[in-house]
Structure 1
């Protein structure tokens, strides 16, 4: 059997575990989501840097093709005639350092120096060439040693004639290849196997420091690519993760609190009772009441058992008080009423046979018990006498006495259970006008052993006889107790001496004089008497 404290603590512990698990889960999920979002954002920033750099350089190189197409027509024209035109073209672009005309592999006209006679191979070893080229090199004429970007436009397939355009790429790297920290720590322009890095000039190869990663994106319009070097997007996101912790903690605590509120019903004993009712885990038992003179069964008290598949057998001393605290005692009473009506054929069809059902004082508020009886009991047109048993431990003075009056008018008898154990005033006996007083088993057990309790028992018997109230003695276990009660005028007895609580289906067998089955559904039935 489970205790109330153990069950409540178990549900509380489960709720705390679920809430803590949800809070921790949300904390980790929030950090993971923030990490992934930050990583993706870093990758987008790195990609945006490379894309923007490529687009900018493409916008610089695009006019070179147009200029080259115009100027290449001047190849072979005397320098005195062509010089003015190529100077005008060079002046239109601030980034264009010079334009040179090459004939038979010889640079014979420059936009800066005018007429010249220099083999172009001395200036650029890979020129002349039969196909267009884009080269990274160093200036050997004007600003010697400075990086330049060379664009070659051949006149024909012979590769001996063409136009060479020199771009001031060092100025462009300062505008386009300056790193964007912390995402990009280095940016490198790659052209035809040569590399130009901002602040470092031309490089023969690109090295990547430990802990950093490189990404290379190529232009779709021109033969160059851009390499960006920096921390990985994941490392940057991980480094920034502690800054996301306060938000994640606040969110996790909020979700934990919401989970606590949301599980108030589903992870509580009230939810367990509702689930038990819906799954029909409860079962109604009965304990016979016998006439003290002839030992004939005059009625039964209906008792509720709960074989919870999740908790095992739960004592009524546990679930009844908890049900009262959770305002679920009325649904349990309705369940008992329904089960009683379904099994009316198990009981003698006699007006003298009474069926006792335990009810709570709270069920009397606003006439709720009358509404339930009209809905569940009276439609059955039962012949047996229904007795509602109120325990004295309930707040009997709070019972609506108008409801009591109406119950009497409807032919429903009223009994006070466990009489003598409460702290209420005896004045409510006159107000409630009960039909039956049930002597608590603690007084029955004291017969012959405890002088004080025996005296109280005598007082209760005398009080009931003077008020004209019928008496039922609970917990009769020995012949001596039965004899004492019989001699003192107690007419109805109830206890293990005659019968233990039994399933309703076993009652007809017992009534015929046979013992009911000692087991129920393959399991031993708890012997604890139930409310």
Structure 2
């Protein structure tokens, strides 16, 4: 039972390990998912900010395009005739600081100063010569040094006549480019090679700081771009993980608990025993029983072995106690009966050959063992005699006396296994009326080494012989032990000295080899005897 408890503890540790691994994976996956989601949200927020800024700039510039198109007809008209209409347009647009009329490469009229006579090519070569339509520069006339945005709307294909609108871009950019912390720390308007940053009245180039990344978006309608600088999205996403940790821990604990509960059956040894029966994972072995008088094979004891594909070979000392505790011993016994019935044709067809089967005392309740024998054993019309061995790990008094009587009536013999090691009581011999007592291997091993246990062995032998009960000695491993037991007229010997447990399918081959060896030994003995007599 101690080994069974150790095995149960091992399975529980495996369940715990699996639950912890799943919980850790859920924690990691949840935090990873939240990290990726946060990073994506931050990137999306930056893009939304840039799109929104571009949309607002475009909407601000669109009326200026319309106004310029409506004003192109004034180009070429004397300045004194168009100055007041230009002032009215400026008042209506609000964002425009001044309007310049250009004719034949000459700025000849200003809405602020009236008549002018300046070379357009010399004043604004980017617009006149380079074909640009927008120019970010500084005001040279009204508010000197302040940033302005020039919008050029040409009237002629030669780019020598048209309208220049001077937009007060500093106020507009400070309104439209307000950064959204923490994902946008700096917002910049770029026109050509010039840049205007929010909060900075100077037009100058910009570069990201050491810990900033750059995001840029271009307008599809006008020749400008919006550049954003801010922390790397992964850094901001990483900073949000502590906020996600409680939820991630809760989910990981929940999934770990679900896995712990879900594996309560599948990871339990009792569930795997039940599964193993249906999956044919168990193997029926047998160990020969040797007649102590003539040395012939008098029968076999059926043993059950379990090869679990998930855990390898599982010792009987582990799964048998657990099967008894979880009421699975009866299904295992039925499995053994059905398998040995399949092998009956290969076994000796002699009535003095007996087949010993271990049966738990709990299997005797409600005549369950009798019903199983009637269903599985007797229909096969077996010739060998059946012996049911009751192990003393069960409380033997629970065995139904009526069932014992029924078994004796149909010729089934009853044996008490491991006699003297468990709940032994001399009253059992009276109540159960066993046909066979099996001397436990601990007493056999004491022969020649342990005087006290050897004395107990002698007492058990004497008691059985006085009560006319047959004896089977288990665990015979040496010739000395075998000879000791033979001299005391022990009926049947069993142990590694004669044969190790083997698959029941191999028994017929072993028996042929065993009988051939005995015949050879007998022939040699007979020859030696004749030689001595001669």
> Smaller-chain TM-score range?
0.7 to 0.9
Helix, strand or coil at the partner of 1:116: strand
In the alignment, does 2:287 pair up with 1:286? yes
Helix, strand or coil at the partner of 2:93: coil
In the alignment, does 2:398 pair up with 1:394? no
Task: Indicate if the aligned counterparts of 2:127 and 2:135 stay in contact, CA closer than 8 A.
Answer: no
Aligned to 1:138: 138
Superposed CA deviations along residues 441-497 of structure 1, whole A, max 9, x for unmatched, are 44455678646763675467547855x75544444533232222x2xxx65554566
Aligned to 2:529: none
Q: 1:73 to 1:309 in 2, by over 3 A?
A: closer
CA distance in 1, matches of 2:472, 2:196: 107
Q: 1:281 to 1:421 in 2, by over 3 A?
A: closer
Aligned to 2:484: 480
Aligned to 2:530: none
CA distance in 1, matches of 2:285, 2:49: 77
Aligned to 2:151: 151
Task: Indicate if the aligned counterparts of 2:293 and 2:486 stay in contact, CA closer than 8 A.
Answer: no
Aligned to 2:116: 117
Helix, strand or coil at the partner of 1:40: helix
CA distance in 1, matches of 2:332, 2:222: 84
Return the offset for 1:227.
Answer: 0.8
Q: 1:61 to 1:372 in 2, by over 3 A?
A: farther
Task: Indicate if the aligned counterparts of 2:415 and 2:438 stay in contact, CA closer than 8 A.
Answer: yes
CA distance in 1, matches of 2:99, 2:399: 110
CA distance in 1, matches of 2:502, 2:475: 15
Q: Which aligned pairs between 1:76-115 and structure 2 lie closer than 5 A?
A: 76-79=76-79, 81-112=81-112, 115=114
Task: Indicate if the aligned counterparts of 2:444 and 2:475 stay in contact, CA closer than 8 A.
Answer: yes
Task: Indicate if the aligned counterparts of 2:436 and 2:471 stay in contact, CA closer than 8 A.
Answer: yes
Task: Indicate if the aligned counterparts of 1:356 and 1:386 stay in contact, CA closer than 8 A.
Answer: yes
Return the offset for 1:55.
Answer: 1.0
In the alignment, does 2:346 pair up with 1:346? yes
Task: Indicate if the aligned counterparts of 1:177 and 1:188 stay in contact, CA closer than 8 A.
Answer: yes
TM-score by length of 1: 0.81
Structure 1 stretches lacking a partner, 5+ long:
517-531
Superposed CA deviations along residues 306-340 of structure 1, whole A, max 9, x for unmatched, are 56788776543344334445554344323322321
Aligned to 1:519: none
Stretch of structure 1 that moved more, 69-78 or 221-230: 69-78
Superposed CA deviations along residues 89-115 of structure 1, whole A, max 9, x for unmatched, are 3333332333333333444444455x3
Return the offset for 1:513.
Answer: 1.8
Task: Indicate if the aligned counterparts of 2:152 and 2:164 stay in contact, CA closer than 8 A.
Answer: yes
Superposed CA deviations along residues 23-48 of structure 1, whole A, max 9, x for unmatched, are 44333333332222222121111111
Task: Indicate if the aligned counterparts of 2:80 and 2:115 stay in contact, CA closer than 8 A.
Answer: no
Return the offset for 1:181.
Answer: 1.3
Stretch of structure 1 that moved more, 144-153 or 223-232: 144-153
Q: Which aligned pairs between 1:374-389 and structure 2 lie closer than 5 A?
A: 374-389=374-389
Aligned to 2:515: 513
Task: Indicate if the aligned counterparts of 1:509 and 1:515 stay in contact, CA closer than 8 A.
Answer: no
Q: How many residues align?
A: 508
TM-score by length of 2: 0.81
Q: Which aligned pairs between 1:251-290 and structure 2 lie closer than 5 A?
A: 251-267=251-267, 269-270=269-270, 278=279, 280=281, 282-290=283-291
Q: 1:367 to 1:97 in 2, by over 3 A?
A: farther
Task: Indicate if the aligned counterparts of 2:285 and 2:501 stay in contact, CA closer than 8 A.
Answer: no
Q: Which has the higher helix share?
A: 2
Q: 1:498 to 1:86 in 2, by over 3 A?
A: closer
Stretch of structure 1 that moved more, 418-427 or 205-214: 418-427
Q: 1:401 to 1:38 in 2, by over 3 A?
A: farther
Superposed CA deviations along residues 47-66 of structure 1, whole A, max 9, x for unmatched, are 11111111110111112211
Task: Indicate if the aligned counterparts of 1:276 and 1:282 stay in contact, CA closer than 8 A.
Answer: no
CA distance in 1, matches of 2:231, 2:370: 78
Structure 2 stretches lacking a partner, 5+ long:
519-534
Return the offset for 1:360.
Answer: 2.1
Stretch of structure 1 that moved more, 392-401 or 274-283: 274-283
CA distance in 2, matches of 1:94, 1:255: 62
CA distance in 2, matches of 1:157, 1:419: 119
CA distance in 2, matches of 1:30, 1:246: 11
CA distance in 1, matches of 2:403, 2:94: 103
CA distance in 2, matches of 1:375, 1:189: 93
Task: Indicate if the aligned counterparts of 1:178 and 1:187 stay in contact, CA closer than 8 A.
Answer: yes
Q: 1:433 to 1:124 in 2, by over 3 A?
A: same
Q: 1:325 to 1:131 in 2, by over 3 A?
A: same
CA distance in 1, matches of 2:318, 2:409: 34
Q: 1:252 to 1:410 in 2, by over 3 A?
A: farther
CA distance in 2, matches of 1:201, 1:146: 7
Aligned to 1:236: 236
CA distance in 2, matches of 1:258, 1:123: 77
CA distance in 1, matches of 2:498, 2:235: 80
Task: Indicate if the aligned counterparts of 1:132 and 1:154 stay in contact, CA closer than 8 A.
Answer: no
Q: Which aligned pairs between 1:379-528 and structure 2 lie closer than 5 A?
A: 379-399=379-399, 404=404, 407=407, 412-423=412-423, 425-427=425-427, 429=429, 431-444=431-444, 450=451, 454=455, 458=459, 462=463, 466=467, 470-475=470-475, 477-484=481-488, 486=489, 491-495=491-495, 500-504=500-504, 505-507=506-508, 509-510=510-511, 513-515=515-517
Return the offset for 1:88.
Answer: 4.0
Q: 1:503 to 1:170 in 2, by over 3 A?
A: closer
